[in-house]
A and B are shown apart, each in its own frame.
Chain A
Amino acid sequence: MARIALSSSLAPYTDGVLELELEVANVRQLFQALGERYPELRSHLEAGIAVAIDNEIYQDALLQPIDRDSEVILITKIAGG
């Protein structure tokens, strides 16, 4: 199972849980699984969360594969000037 870590800024929406393991094959499945487990997190996932899969950041990449032994970190999407 992939190891999932959440940025501490998301703790209020996951009852403080910042680390878990999930059986997911891509980012879309990850967001679905997290949204089902933590309904309050759902709008934040939709509102702009990026993921770092094995330390590579992906934004708006729902179909990006996640390997079984991947480490995935959820971070806030980055914009700019």
Chain B
Amino acid sequence: MSTMLKYQEKELKIVGTRPLRPDGVDKVTGRARFGADYNLPGQLIGKVLRSPHAHARIKSIDTSAALALPGVKAVVTREDFAEMPDEMAAVGELMINFRDVTRNMMAREKVLYDGHPLAAVAAVSESVARAALALIKVEYEILPHVIDVVAAMKAGAPLLNEKQYTAGVKPKPDHPSNVAKRLEYGHGDLAAGFKQAEVIIEREFNTKPVHQGYIEPQACLASYSADGQAELWTSTQGHFVFRAQCAKVLQMEVSRIRVTPTEIGGGFGGKNNIYNEPLAIALSRKSNRPVKMVTTREEVFRGTGPTPGANVKVKIGCTRDGKITAAEAELNFQAGAFPGSPVNQASMCAFTRYDLANVRVVGHDVTVNRPKVAAYRAPGAPIAVFGVESVIDEMAKKLGMDPIDFRLKNAAKEGTQTYYGPKLGPVGYVQTLEAARAHPHYRAPLGPNQGRGVATGFWFNIGNETTCSLNLQEDGTLTLMLGTIDVAGGSRASMAMMVAEELGVEFERVRPIVGDTSSLGFNFLTAGSRSTFASGMACVIAARQMIEKLRQRVAKIREVPAEAVAWKDGRAQPADAGVAQFAPMTLAEIARMGGKTGGTIAGHAEINAQGAGPGFGAHIVDVEVDKQTGAVKILRYTVVQDVGKAIHPAYVEGQMQGGAAQGIGWALNEEYVYGDDGILQNPGFLDYRIPVASDLPRIDTVIVEVPNPNHPYGVRGCGEVPIIPPMAAIANAIENATGLRLREQPFSPPRVLKAIDDAAAAKG
């Protein structure tokens, strides 16, 4: 059934080089158009009224005064959206509970978090829209709230959904709970494994929600026409998925919505979900005018999904010679106001770097009065790995082993049985660890108050539905229309490189663009490190299809059998076997004759890519701890990662550096701070501190290439893995510098200083 292409080693001319990206000039000159840059004549401005309470029952919403304000053209509330059943529905290749989706985009019975949307208005200007929001009267019944995941799991905690019973538990619980789901993975005999252990370490960790920190807030423009068609321009990681979800909640036919993706100023998982898009379409439908909605940074923090905070417990047993005999973890993840945290992926990633005979991971998905969480690079994995890699480091130290040698002794490799399912195929974890150990960074001397940490990460990588269309233009140049969004990582360049490599033409002759939802068939999100693997596979299939058509066409033109025509070096040439001789034809020559010899020539691919190859990474970090202030400075950072094959090494390095930079921010400073009233205290980049350039050294990279056998160029994927190890690596480095093991993220100056002061007080 699978039509996927297998890896073939061959001499490469373009893949592996570093050409300039086709979207680069527009990006650096300011011509590139992002979500907020789109406008239509007569457009209105849409704004959202948000809850000022963490948890409250909505007794009434009165929009009459707002509607009466001159300049206000439409208002929508819960009344304008259909009730959806409480069940999982297949939409856009995802199974989604639309009861929750409709309630997250517009509160119904209750508001469930500070920032929860209650109403939206469309007006002739932003100031009128804001004035209208102030005129909407909402009567609340304030309810007790719960923010912390451990508190939310306790009996008697304020319930967000009185009809939610913990799934995955038999028999079905008698009482509703904020624990939406319990899951468990594992194999072997855990008790026997711990009995066999000579050293056991058991620790508990806590992390805070952190935001993806994309620079461009969500922005969209919707236009609904009198014949029931809608156009939408939006900043998204998946325009087909957005279309599907908007169609569902607005009860429209999918083909009546056309979504054009704008350039995207970062997403990292945060732009996988609809927020304002259905509101903008509904407001446009009601007002008969285009409606533009641009979120503020404060709205981004209060109303969109961060990654969860969590409580993590880890226990590892080991023999004195360094063999892990048993490993156990409990992962308690905040889901936000609705179920659906990434605790499942986190559970599957927690220990997969190690070859373990006895292992168990239990996860809980817990609703709390915070915004519904969203994906963030390698969703959930960094949180689990912070706990596991911290204990691994502590274990290595206790055993007197080098931390990389300890990992190598227990490393997963081809044939390792994972505890979540299959055995691993060819993977590059050992090669990655060996490359890290051999790096000069690992042996460089350290100064006073300085320490070095190591940690590693694993991510599955994924495939999924992918489409593209490759068209030969009349002058012999090529246009490549992609269904996969380029989330600014440079994937358009990588796709064009693979097509150019296949066809044997210069990279510059392939012009890649991202098509709108009416131009191609369904294409999944850019997520899970799938783009270069899955879209690359589609591009190679389309290119090979085009080559086959080119061969057939030249055979007809030159009046020779098709098997006499070979495609080599960008030209149709006589096959080596010498079936028939003929004058070779270039792509331009064939294109010029295309219209008169049967029409234009194109290649297409509509696939569901299978066979993604897992990726592994190892990070080394040096820190210096200021014992007077608690500030942690990153002195040196090296990322080593198996990516299968780097199509465009510069963009792979960019992914590795970007992931590390975000992980450093996660480790050192980032956290959502809530007051006792359940209100977010730091919804802006002044009080929520992401790293800036001066915080970071140059991040060194080492690309390891162990080919994925299920991709024609051996691609695995690279975007998720590099955010997994930093939190643990930095915690391990701080311990190496100070002797203090930090188990509460972030390791911000006040927290580090407190740990230093507490340790000094304990010593007396």
Contact = CB atoms under 8 A, between A and B. Distances in A.
Interface of A: 5, 7-9, 11-12, 26, 43, 46-48, 52, 55-61, 63-65, 73-76, 78-81
Q: Main secondary structure on chain B at its contact with chain A? A: loop
Contact of A61 (B269, B423, B460, B608): B608
Contacts of A55: 422-425
B166 to A, nearest CB: 10
A11 B462 CA distance: 25
24 contacts: A7-B185, A7-B420, A9-B183, A9-B185, A9-B344, A47-B95, A55-B423, A56-B710, A57-B421, A57-B612, A59-B462, A60-B464, A60-B608, A64-B1, A73-B422, A75-B422, A76-B420, A78-B460, A80-B345, A80-B529, A80-B720, A81-B268, A81-B377, A81-B719
Contact of B169 (A12, A48, A80): A12
Contact of B464 (A47, A59, A65): A59
Contact of B1 (A11, A26, A57, A79): A26
A58 B2 CA distance: 9
Interface residues of B, number: 53
Interface in B704-728: 710, 719-720
Contacts of B170: 12
Contacts of A61: 1-2, 608, 610
B314 to A, nearest CB: 19
B186 interface: yes
Contact of A47 (B88, B272, B342, B459): B88
B21 to A, nearest CB: 22
A60 B93 contact: yes
A64 B93 CA distance: 17
Contacts of B423: 55
Nearest to B720: A80
A58 B422 contact: no
Contacts of A76: 183, 344, 348, 420
Q: Which 7 pairs between the two chains have the least Cβ-Cβ distance?
A: A80-B528, A81-B269, A52-B422, A81-B375, A75-B421, A9-B183, A55-B422
A7 B422 CA distance: 10
Contacts of A9: 168, 183-185, 344, 347
A75 B420 contact: yes
Interface in B419-440: 420-425
Interface in B324-379: 342, 344-345, 347-348, 375-379
Contacts of A78: 345, 348, 460, 462, 528
A66 to B, nearest CB: 10
A81 B662 CA distance: 13
A76 B664 CA distance: 30
Contacts of A59: 462-464, 608, 610
Nearest to A79: B528
A63 B610 CA distance: 13
A81 B210 CA distance: 14
B465 interface: yes
B530 interface: yes
Contacts of B420: 7, 75-76
Contacts of A7: 185, 420-421
B611 interface: yes
A7 B421 CA distance: 6
B527 interface: yes
Interface string B658-698: 00000000000000000000000000000000000000000
Nearest to B167: A12
A4 B187 CA distance: 16
Contacts of A81: 212, 268-269, 272, 375-379, 527-528, 719-720
Contacts of B422: 52, 55-57, 73, 75
